Amino acid sequence: MKVVLLEHTQNPEKVCAVAALTSMKEGTPSDMLSEIDTDNAKKRIQRVVGYGHYSVIEHASFTFSIEGISRACSHQLVRHRIASFTQQSQRYVKMEDVPFVTPPSIKNNKTAEDIFNKSLNNNTESYKKLLELGIAPEDARFVLPNAIKTNLVMTMNARELLHFFNLRCCNRAQWEIRDMAWEMLYQVLEVSPALFETSGPKCIGEGICTEGKASCGCYKLFEGKNIDERRIIVKEFFK
Ligand SMILES: Cc1cc2nc3c(=O)[nH]c(=O)nc-3n(C[C@H](O)[C@H](O)[C@H](O)COP(=O)(O)OP(=O)(O)OC[C@H]3O[C@@H](n4cnc5c(N)ncnc54)[C@H](O)[C@@H]3O)c2cc1C
């Protein structure tokens, strides 16, 4: 898979900080934007987010190109409702080549991989034969499996991204969407460290896990670790 941060709000931290200031100070947002510096913006964001006033960080948005994920993954992704999606259409795009994602558990097991490839080849052949018979792609696609690759453009604001990372960077999330979420997280951290300072699975910021019996238990290794180290502990936990 490839994840590319295509665009984002210019000066996301300053814009969100100005939104926070607007609610509390006299003066206009445009003047505030020209006056605020990076350090002040960071402090302002930390303060309001610390109070739980997350609406101010909805003013920063981030647009990603998500390339080559499976339809199994994209189906989970589009469950996130506070986001905008545009996905490659299986109605308009007639697939000449039918690329697919192989899960690592299958790739690492020769017998499983043979079964998997055989099944996908059968489906691919059927898809192509249906197209040759003049069946429209929108109907021929019914034989395509979850493994088929897809591309999307997705936009989320910073508040939704924090929520998304809470759920999808967690070791409880499925491996493909989890890999994608971590990739997104590291890219937005580069652009906006203040907005995403404590982002990641919930346990990273809170130091505890709310998954009950299903918890992976990695948070037990967090004591004395900073956020970056905690992120590594979560990511490496099952390796
Ligand atoms: C580990 C894991 C396992 C999962 N297993 C399943 C499963 O077995 N079956 C299944 O169907 N789904 C499953 N899901 C998907 C899950 O139920 C959610 O649909 C998905 O994670 C989107 O989360 P969300 O609804 O919180 O977030 P978003 O849709 O991104 O919304 C963000 C937040 O906005 C608010 N919000 C959005 N829409 C509404 C609304 N209509 N009313 C009130 N508040 C709203 C909520 O506070 C919500 O948390 C799973 C997800 C995870 C991470």
**The pLDDT of residue 5:** 98
Q: pLDDT per residue over 162-214, tens digit each? A: 999 999 999 999 999 999 999 999 999 999 999 999 999 999 988 889 999 99
203 Cβ contact list (under 8 Å, min separation 6): 170, 209, 218, 219, 222, 230, 234
Cα separation, 174 vs 85, whole angstroms: 20
Supply φ then ψ for residue 195, to 5 degrees.
-70, -30
Average pLDDT across the chain, whole number: 95
* CA of 76, closest atom in ligand 1: 15
Check pocket membership of 173 for ligand 1, CB cut-off 6 A: yes
Beta-bridge partner residues of 69: 150
Task: Judge residue 138's burial from the number of C-beta atoms within 10 Å of its C-beta, 0-12 exposed, 13-18 middle, 19 or more buried.
Answer: exposed
CA 86 to chain CA centroid, nearest Å: 14
Where do the domains of the chain lie? 2-85+150-199, 104-143, 201-239
Check pocket membership of 54 for ligand 1, CB cut-off 6 A: no
Check pocket membership of 75 for ligand 1, CB cut-off 6 A: no
Give the containing element (helix H, strand E) for 164: helix 158-168
Check pocket membership of 82 for ligand 1, CB cut-off 6 A: yes
Contact by Cβ (8 Å): 69, 176: yes
Q: Is the pLDDT of residue 152 over 90?
A: yes
Ligand 1 centroid to Cα of residue 167, in Å, is 9
pTM for this model (two decimals): 0.96
For the range 19-23, what are the long-range contacts, defined as Cβ-Cβ under 8 Å and sequence gap of 24 or more? 19/56, 19/59, 20/44, 20/45, 20/47, 20/48, 20/53, 20/56, 23/56
Cα separation, 182 vs 159, whole angstroms: 16
Residue found by looking up tokens 């909805």 in the block? 58
Contact by Cβ (8 Å): 44, 17: yes
* CA of 83, closest atom in ligand 1: 30
Cα separation, 17 vs 74, whole angstroms: 33
Residues of the chain with pLDDT > 70, as a percent, come to: 100
* Tokens representing residue 87 in the block: 């996905």
Task: Classify residue 218 by its DSSP letter.
Answer: G
Mean pLDDT along residues 99-121: 97
Structure confidence at residue 94 as a pLDDT band (50, 70, 90): confident
Cα separation, 222 vs 111, whole angstroms: 39
CATH (one of 1.10.150.130, 3.30.1360.170, 3.60.9.10, 2.90.10.10) for 2-85+150-199? 3.30.1360.170
